Amino acid sequence: MTNHHQPVLSAATISWQTDHHGNRVPISTQFDDVYFSQAGGLDETHHVFFQGNRLPERFATLDEQECFVIGETGFGTGLNFLATCQLWQTLAPKTAKLHFISTEKFPLSRHDLAHALSAWQHTPLAAWTSILLDNYPLLIAGCHRLHISDTITLDLWFQDATESLYGLLATQQQQRIDAWFLDGFTPNKNSDMWQPPLFAAMAGLSHVQTTLATFTAAGFVRRSLLDAGFDVVKGVGFGRKRDMLHSANEPYQPKFPKKSLKSPAKNIAIIGGGISGVSMAMALLKRGHFVTIFDKNPLMSGASGNPCALLAPKLTISKQVANHLPTASFLYSYRHYKALTKYSQVIKTTGVIDLLLPSQKSAQKRQQLIDEYPDELIQTLKQSSYQPPVALEQDMSNADIAAFVRMGSVLYPANIAKILNNDLANYQRFSYQNYNINNITECDDGVNLATIDKNFHFDSVVICAGFASHLLHEHLFNCRKIRGQVSWVAANHYDDIAPAVKYEGYCSHFVDSSNQKPYLLFGASFVRNSTDTAVYHDEHLFNYQKLNQSLPQYCQLQQINEDTQFYGRAAIRAQTPDYHPVVGKAPHSKHSYCLYGLGSKGFGFAPFCAEVLAEMIDGGILPVERGLLDKISPSRTRLQIPLDESK
């Protein structure tokens, strides 16, 4: 759907012109420059960036499991990336990994991107083009991590190139860029990008054998690159361009530190089999590690074990979006669950009605907040094409403003556990141990885990034990325990049931796999400082009363009242004072990590936080800026003061 409002960042504006070969080519109206020539665009990529960085020979001589990292300034239509995917598939070892990082201040809309890339529909790039379009993110500022294949990861930074690279520099670990594609519109039309601060950031992300190539040979660009420490030389340019710049044939960047090779596959324990532990296992398995989950209960049976769950974002003002965890997590997790659905039905994109209950913000300000985001994500209900059931429409007539989250979805947690147990177990690198870990002891070469009668040794451990995580490590924060009971009833008038609604609580429908009957789930209760998981009728009534207060006509349609047969379950959520999870290396530890404290947003936070933590463990490149990383750190200031559990 076309966006009628100003998105969170400025999209590229495209015009189409016919070149001297009769081909329609995309032109940036911001920079009055062509994105590529259909006649020679692909050849230019091969000449300038592939040959300039010696990629064919470097790809072909990589070791198994080795990770090769490419940085690019100016994603544009993605032609360089797509051609790199094709070259990688042809030459690289099957188990090697490609991490491609690209920046774009003015990204193309998906519609314009599809139009531009249609030029390559009858070439070997067509399959990669289709994958990119399927994964192409919404035009929202920040880093979007896309898993293009089992071996290719694309980080798209939608913001200024210099800002993006300094963001990477602030979170840099051992991994560094192996080759640079210094692209973008020509320096005399896009001079803001071709500046010493950009080259300095590139240098900080490089190592002694990093290579660089660019189509331009402008004198000030060459001098600035040399000043930054790159040993660039002139080479033969492409087509009508006499010269280009690239690294020396035997690159040696004397100012740059040596690259730290990625560590070999590790044997990693995960304590806790909820959505945090399962997401962590998936992220580590994808990187080639050996993973064992320890949990005395079956996978996804605790706080992650409800029959269904809601996936919908809580938005922030646009200028804060790049460092807003709920938004970044939602966008990543949505793609993650969609990808898992190739194994089993994990997610159903039904859309979610959000009543946006009165708050300190006026209806007008909430309208403005919605308008700043792409329509593909959220619109006001009146602007959307969604027609709610009549009963719901009557209930919402009193709401000052309601939204329709088009990407809002219903999740089926039991199927996530099945995927890990059945499909991903085929990795031969995953196991599940039905033990309760009582003690963790660090040693020089890893950690020792102790049960009542067994001992295990691992290279590392990730504590994903929810509210009990602090019991396993003395330096982990003791979260507030929040008991939440959900209720569900047999669904009536199933054809008139709404997909999902957020009010003071939430409701959603699901079909019970054991009897194939539909149910309406709603809740949840919120009881502080309780670890009781019994199911109580008075909490069923509490959940019903909240639902009935917000949606009385809907309750009447579904024939829900105090005498209805209620079903339910209760679980304990771990909540931090600032509502951010605890993700990273445990304080004062060498081999112990943690991922817990996700509160009521576990399904939204877990896949993204697991991806970030897996990169930390590997010393890889993080898909977040420093500001967001600090918000989830186990050592952050807000977690230095223990909670008063009496409040």
Domains of the chain: 14-247 (3.40.50.150), 267-302+414-479+577-639 (3.50.50.60), 352-406+480-575 (3.30.9.10)
Per the document, the length of the chain is 647
User: pLDDT band at residue 21, thresholds of 50, 70 and 90?
Assistant: low
What is the spatial distance between Cα 357 and Cα 524, in angstroms, rounded to a whole number?
Answer: 17
Q: Would the pLDDT of 39 be above 70?
A: no
Q: Is the peptide bond before 524 cis (omega within 30 degrees of 0)?
A: yes
pLDDT digits (tens, 9 = 90+) for 217-264: 899 999 999 999 999 999 888 877 788 999 987 777 777 888 776 668
Mean pLDDT, to the nearest integer, of 57-74? 94
User: pLDDT band at residue 18, thresholds of 50, 70 and 90?
Assistant: confident
Q: Three-state DSSP class for 321?
A: helix
CB 509 within 8 A of CB 518: yes
| Helix (H), strand (E) at residue 446 | strand 446-450
Other Cβ atoms within 10 Å of 37 Cβ, number: 18
What is the spatial distance between Cα 483 and Cα 465, in angstroms, rounded to a whole number?
Answer: 16
Q: Is 625 left (phi over 0), alpha (psi -120 to 50) or beta?
A: beta
pLDDT digits (tens, 9 = 90+) for 91-149: 999 999 999 999 999 999 999 999 889 888 888 999 999 999 999 999 999 999 999 99
User: pLDDT band at residue 547, thresholds of 50, 70 and 90?
Assistant: very high
19: which 2 tokens?
């070149």
Q: What does pTM read for this prediction? A: 0.94
With the C-alpha atoms ordered 273, 277, 281, 282, is the resulting torsion angle positive or negative? positive
